[in-house]
Amino acid sequence: MCLAVPGRVISITEADGTTMAEVDFGGVRKSVCLQYVPDAAVGEYVVVHVGFAIQRLDERSARETLENFERLGILKEEFR
Amino acid sequence: MRYLDEFSDPDLARRLLDQIHAAATRPWALMEVCGGQTHSIIRHGIDQLLPKGVEMIHGPGCPVCVTPLETIDKALAIAAQPGVIFCSFGDMLRVPGSGRDLFAVKSAGADVRVVYSPLDALTIARENPDKQVVFFGIGFETTAPANAMTVHQAERLGVGNFSLLVSHVLVPPAIAAIMESPRCRVQAFLAAGHVCSVMGTGEYPPLAAKYRVPIVVTGFEPLDILEGIRQTVVQLEAGRHEVGNAYPRAVPAEGNPVARAMLAEVFEVTDRTWRGIGMIPGSGWRLAPRYRPFDAEHRFAVTGIHTEESSLCRSGEVLQGLIKPHQCAAFGKQCTPRNPLGATMVSSEGACAAYYAYRRLDLVSIS
Amino acid sequence: MTAGLDFEGWSCPLPLRDTPAVVMGHGGGGAMSGDLIEHLFLPGYGSAAPAGSGRSDCAVVTVGGTRIALSTDSFVVKPMFFPGGSIGDLAVNGTVNDLAMAGATPLYLSAAFILQEGTAMTELGRVAEAMGAAARAAGVQLVTGDTKVVDNGSGDGVYITTTGVGAVPEGADIHPGRAAAGDAVLISGDIGVHGVAVLSCREGLEFGTTVASDTAALHGLVAAMLATGADLHVLRDPTRGGVAASLNEIARAGHVGVDLVERDLPVPAEVRDACSLLGLDPLQVANEGKLIAFVPAESADDVLAAMRAHPLGAGSRRIGACVAEHPGMVVARTALGGTRVVPLPIGEQLPRIC
């Protein structure tokens, strides 16, 4: 269900009383409704589903998760 | 794409797989709730790489799959009416109702359009004031905020020719229903990450406690899924049954409070029939009374349509994890993605379609 | 149930007669298009259709002792103009490429137009100019044609059918039936570019991208490949249905299996990202300026070198191999080390949202 992908907020505009954003998905750009993440700022990453940002993407958490994965491997190496 | 590619890294995937192999000492049956996860597991061949005893049971998490036949028939009836522009996500066009699908209705002259977002349907409504524009509002908690906002906007902007055919479904009641099933084999759940991006994780501790199952919120990229499996197996091996979060970059504990407030305003909980499963109490959302004027079922008077499902199809058992898709006699024979008998074959995310597309080779070599 | 699976029964599970009317998927270049040919057109043509020739986008026939290639193609692309080209470019290059995939040198084209009344002359003029430019670039002549106009509402702007003839060089015998176990599978560059460019400006899906259609005439590239002296077995331009459809069709026609290495597929980042956004598989997205080649493994390096030396083949690479196992099926080895079957697309590719 629910294909949602992370994209970077490029610009923020108002249209018909709705906060919209231009969001960049690695070169592909799409207009996205930002009503649900009103405090997202230009340059930040949001998770987008059917044209709506449904959540901010926590970049620090993403880095930590990857670092944890790297460590898992190293621990494993040491056990060998 | 940033934050997608990094989470597909084959070297890190190998490390996670090593960890899972090291942790698993016994057979375990895990259910990934979400169809997107099923798709990812099969597309990347993840299930082939797991320890032999660790089995992934594919859950009822594809909204296209579980949309009731009756709702599809209502959609077909509405789309066929003159003066209607019927808008839908692409997935729904090939879903058969009783005997035909939206493509067939389109070929008979109906104006059926694929849109990316429900807001696109609202735009079409504003551009075509002399037409009735209906959006097929299906989906889990992830998609519901988009549909809620669209109806809210329609009301605010006075777009009276817009309406929503609503068939939203909810994950936690489905998990409860699966665990209540007498034949249930599921020992742990990978919860659907993007549902939790909206709803948070607060609904799951009571379920984990009541049914004594680990529930780990899981994302969709290969590393996310492997980490969800790893955390789940570690809990199972230790005899724990807690709620974990293997997708913290997109799932804060509280979810999205702004979206949840909008959902509470626009929708109300209702009983919902899941295609192939049956009625699950309190497992759906419908429009709240204030928004009822935007309910397509009422606007087009299709509430009288009642239909039944194919008896050949065992998608109910597939969706409950009781059988694998290829254990159904109709699988790959009378039932194919091109002519699906049941829910699970319908969507590209449905378990049967995923099997049909990606695993036929394995099934053949197994036999 | 697992014990009793009928391997053969899977490839074409349903007869067309279950579909009472034409639906969009019949034009998608996938399984439904195939059904239409197999279960409706060929039986309808009866003895007027050549027996056992298999399906190909291009026929090679002998006229007065000379082998000529003959191909026809209709173009209904929406929108008519898209980043990197227009329906006019496709109408010329598409037919030129179908001829080139038989190893033929394209010579002459006909063009038939079905126009909807109300279509702006300026638009039609731009299409005609694009066709002229594409034909000059390809070195073919537009020698005859026809024009019909239909009521407003009976058509959609401009539909073009082009038919082409070409000369088949001595010794060239290139068709899907020749795919053989041991062949190397090559591709001439990045995949999915055209489809993403067109989708980016399709109503309801619009998105911003720098991706432009790869529409191009490929017979020059084919000539360079033939010049190596290699025995090219199969050439195919993976248009509708993408690489997945082409490889499945070749696997079926040649009764061979195809093993792909997913890591080696040239998918540009922007195509991958657009596909992620819309839930599409890059393997199913259309190309208009790429070719797939099945060549004997021993000449693969020579052919690859010749392809890379040509401007339209600079990004050429080996993406897999033709095998005797799993005949009729395409199997990809995933980056993680698993495998998956690459299915023949059913009909139209639908954006997958949920």
What is the ipTM score, two decimals? 0.92
End-to-end CA distance of chain C: 30
Residue C155: its pLDDT value, please? 80
Nearest CA in chain B to A18: B153
Query: For residues A34 and B343, which has the higher predicted lDDT (pLDDT)?
Result: A34
pLDDT-derived band at B354 (thresholds 50, 70, 90) equals low
Q: What is the pLDDT of residues C156-170, one digit of tens each?
A: 889 999 999 999 998
C165 strand-pairing partners: C70, C108
Q: What is the DSSP string of C287-306?
A: -SS--EEEEEGGGHHHHHHH
Contacts of B263 (CB under 8 A, 6+ apart): B141, B144, B145, B148, B198, B285
Cα distance from C334 to chain B (closest Cα, Å)?
6
Which has more pLDDT, B307 or B286?
A: B286
User: How high is the pLDDT of residue C7?
Assistant: 21
Q: Quick check: C205 and B328 CB within 8 A? A: no
Our CA-based measurement puts residue C341 at a distance from the nearest CA of chain A, in whole angstroms, of 21
Highest average pLDDT, of A36-45, B181-190, C18-27, comes from A36-45
- pLDDT above 80: residue C28: no
* Chain A residues near any Cβ of chain C (below 8 Å): 1-3, 5, 22, 25-30, 48, 50
Give Cα C193 to chain centroid, integer Å.
Answer: 13
Chain region(s) in chain C for CATH 3.90.650.10: 176-342
Mean pLDDT confidence for B11-22:
95
Predicted local distance difference test score (pLDDT) of residue C341: 83
Query: HSE (CB half, 13 Å, CA atoms) of B297?
Result: 17
pTM, entire model: 0.86
The CA distance from C262 to B114, in Å, is 30
Cα gap B266→C189, rounded to integer Å: 49
Number of independent structural domains in chain A: 1
What gap in Å lies between CA A28 and CA C270, rounded to an integer?
6
The answer to whether position B92 is within a domain reads yes
| pLDDT of the residue at B157 | 95
| Average of per-residue pLDDT across C318-326 | 95
Amino acid occupying residue B236 = L
Which residue in the set A1, A5, A50 is minimally distant from C276, CB to CB? Answer: A5
Amino acid in position B103? F
Residue-averaged pLDDT of chain A: 89
Predicted pLDDT of residue B313: 63
Chain B positions in Cβ-Cβ contact with residue C261 (cut-off 8 Å): none
Q: Tell which wins on pLDDT, B35 or B358.
A: B35
Cross-chain CB nearest to B3 (options A1, A62, A73): A62
Calpha distance B29→B24 (Å, rounded): 12
Q: Give the CA-trace dihedral at C274, C82, C319, B40, to 10 degrees.
A: 20
The two most distant CA atoms of chain C are separated, in Å, by: 63
Q: Output the six-digit token pair for C7.
A: 């391997």
Burial environment of residue C310 by CB neighbours within 10 A (0 to 12, 13 to 18, 19 or more): middle
Give residue C3's pLDDT. Answer: 28
Q: Cβ-count burial of A15 within 10 angstroms (0-12 exposed, 13-18 middle, 19+ buried)? A: exposed
Beta bridge mates, B284:
B169, B270
The domain spanning residue A20 has which CATH number?
2.30.30.140
Using alpha carbons, select from B199, B196, B200, B192 the residue that is nearest to residue B224: B192
Q: Are residues B189 and B292 in the same domain?
A: no
| C273 vs B1, B116, B338: nearest CB | B1
Q: Please give the residue range of the domain that contains residue B335.
A: 315-366
pLDDT band at C11 (very low <50, low <70, confident <90, very high): very low
The answer on B160 and B72 residing in a single domain is: yes
Thinking of the domain C176-342, which architecture would CATH place it in? Alpha-Beta Complex (3.90)
Tell me, yes or no, whether B85 lies in a domain: yes
One domain, residues B157 and B69: yes
C60 near C168, Cβ under 8 Å? yes
Phi, psi of B360 (to 5 degrees): -55, -40
- Nearest Cα residue to A12 out of A24, A4, A20: A20
Cα end-to-end distance, chain B, whole Å = 39
From B104, B358, B361, residue closest to C23, measured CB to CB = B104
pLDDT interval class at B59 (50, 70, 90): confident
Task: Tell me whether residue B305 is in a domain.
Answer: no
Closest residue by Cα to residue B48 from B214, B172, B226, B221: B226
A contacts of B257 (beta carbons < 8 Å)? none
Structurally, how many domains does chain B consist of?
3
The answer, yes or no, to whether residue B361 has pLDDT greater than 80, is: no
Residue B263 burial by Cβ neighbours in a 10 Å radius (0-12, 13-18, 19+): buried
The nearest alpha carbon in chain C to A50 belongs to: C353
Per-residue model confidence (pLDDT) at position C23: 82
Task: Give the range among A51-60, B35-44, C107-116 with minimum mean pLDDT.
Answer: B35-44
Which neighbouring-strand residues pair with B56?
B30
Q: What is the mean pLDDT of chain C?
A: 88
Cβ–Cβ of B46/C24 closer than 8 Å? no
pLDDT of residue C306: 98
Residue A23: strand pairing partners: A9, A30
Alpha helices in chain C (DSSP H): 31-35, 42-45, 87-100, 121-138, 193-199, 219-226, 242-254, 269-278, 300-308
Residue type, B314: R
pLDDT at C1 > cutoff 50: no
pLDDT at position C210 is 87
Q: What is the pLDDT of residue B339?
A: 59
Q: Mean pLDDT highest for which of B178-182, B184-188, C305-309?
A: C305-309
Longest dimension (CA), chain A: 62
In which residue are the tokens 């293997």 written? B246
Question: Residue B10: which CATH number?
Answer: 3.40.50.11750
- The boundaries of the domain holding residue A11 are 4-79
CA separation for the pair B234, A6 (Å, rounded): 29
Q: Classify B22 as helix, strand or coil.
A: helix
Spatial contact of B294 and B287, defined as CB atoms under 8 Å apart: yes
Rounded distance between C-alpha atoms, residue C198 and residue C214, angstroms: 11
Residue C342: pLDDT band with limits 50, 70, 90: confident
Q: Are residues B132 and B263 in the same domain?
A: yes
Query: B202 lies in a domain?
Result: yes
How far is it, in rounded angstroms, from Cα B279 to Cα B273?
4
Q: Encoding tokens for residue B130? A: 């002399």
In three-state secondary structure terms, C143 is strand
Residue B171 host element (H or E): helix B171-180
What SS3 class is residue C281? Answer: coil
Q: What residue ranges of chain C are covered by domains with CATH 3.30.1330.10? A: 56-172
Out of B232-236, B347-351, C281-285, give the one with best mean pLDDT.
Answer: B232-236
CB-CB under 8 Å, A70 with B36: no
Q: Which pairs with CB-CB distance under 8 Å and at least 24 residues apart come from B289-293?
A: B290/B265, B291/B151, B291/B152, B291/B155, B291/B266
In DSSP notation, B69-137 reads HHHHHHHHHHHTSTTEEEEE-GGGGG---SS--HHHHHHTT-EEEE-SSHHHHHHHHHH-TTSEEEEEE
Task: Find, in chain B, the residue whose alpha carbon is nearest to that of A5.
Answer: B4
What would the pLDDT profile of C56-98 be if each residue is shown by its tens digit?
788 999 999 899 999 999 999 888 999 999 999 999 999 999 9
> How much is the pLDDT for C14?
26
Please say if the pLDDT value at position C43 is more than 70: yes
The answer to whether residue A78 scores a pLDDT higher than 50 is no
**Cβ contacts (< 8 Å) between C205 and chain B: which residues?**
114-116
Query: Taking the CB of residue B109, how many other CB atoms lie within 10 A of it?
Result: 9
Q: What is the mean pLDDT of residues C261-277?
A: 92
The secondary structure of B248-301 as a DSSP string is TTT--TT--HHHHHHHHHHEEEEEEEETTTEEEEEEEEEE-GGGGGGBHHHHTT
pLDDT digits (tens, 9 = 90+) for C186-225: 999 999 999 999 988 887 778 888 899 999 999 999 999 9
Across the interface, whether the CB atoms of B250 and A25 are under 8 A apart is answered no
- In this predicted structure, the answer to whether residue C348 has a pLDDT above a threshold of 60 is yes
Q: Are strands C234-236 and C183-187 parallel, antiparallel or unpaired?
A: unpaired
Q: Is the pLDDT of residue B21 over 60?
A: yes
The tokens describing B171, both together, are 């994950």
Q: Are residues B209 and B338 both part of a single domain?
A: no
Whole-number mean pLDDT of chain B? Answer: 87
End-to-end CA distance of chain A: 40
Taking the C-alpha atoms of residue C286 and residue C300, their distance in angstroms, rounded to an integer, is 25
Average pLDDT for B337-345: 57
Q: Please give the pLDDT value at position B333.
A: 62
Per-residue model confidence (pLDDT) at position C108: 97
- Contact residues, chain A, for C276 at CB < 8 Å: 5, 25
Q: Count A/B contacts: CB-CB distance under 8 Å.
A: 141
Instruction: State the average pLDDT over residues B42-59.
Output: 89
> What's the rounded mean pLDDT across residues B130-149?
96
> Which chain B residues contact residue C337 at CB under 8 A?
10, 14, 45, 49
* Closest listed residue to residue C292, CA positions, set C250, C261, C332: C250
Of B120, B140, B258, the CB nearest to A2: B140
**In this complex, how many residue pairs, one in chain B and one in chain C, have their CB atoms less than 8 Å apart?**
150
B309 located within any domain: no
C-alpha C223/C-alpha C307 separation (Å) is 10
CA distance C8 to chain B (A): 10
Token readout for C105 is 């040198």
**B362, HSE (Cβ side, Cα atoms, 13 Å):** 18
CATH number of C56-172: 3.30.1330.10
Contact: B258, A16; criterion CB under 8 Å: no
* pLDDT of the residue at C49: 75
CB B112 within 8 A of CB B84: no
Does C344 score more than 90 pLDDT? no
Specify whether the CB–CB gap between C114 and C159 falls below 8 A: yes
Say if residues C210 and C270 touch (Cβ distance below 8 Å). yes
Tell whether B15 is covered by a domain: yes
Res B88: pLDDT: 94
Is B46 within a domain? yes
The C-alpha atoms of residue B12 and residue A77 are separated, in whole angstroms, by 13
Token couple for C117: 């009344």
Quick one: pLDDT band at residue B309, thresholds 50, 70, 90?
A: low
> What is the structure's pLDDT at C350?
73
Chain B residues inside the 8 Å CB shell of A25: 1
Decide if B175 is inside a domain: no
- Shared domain check, B164 and B96: yes
> Quick one: B70 and B160 in the same domain?
yes
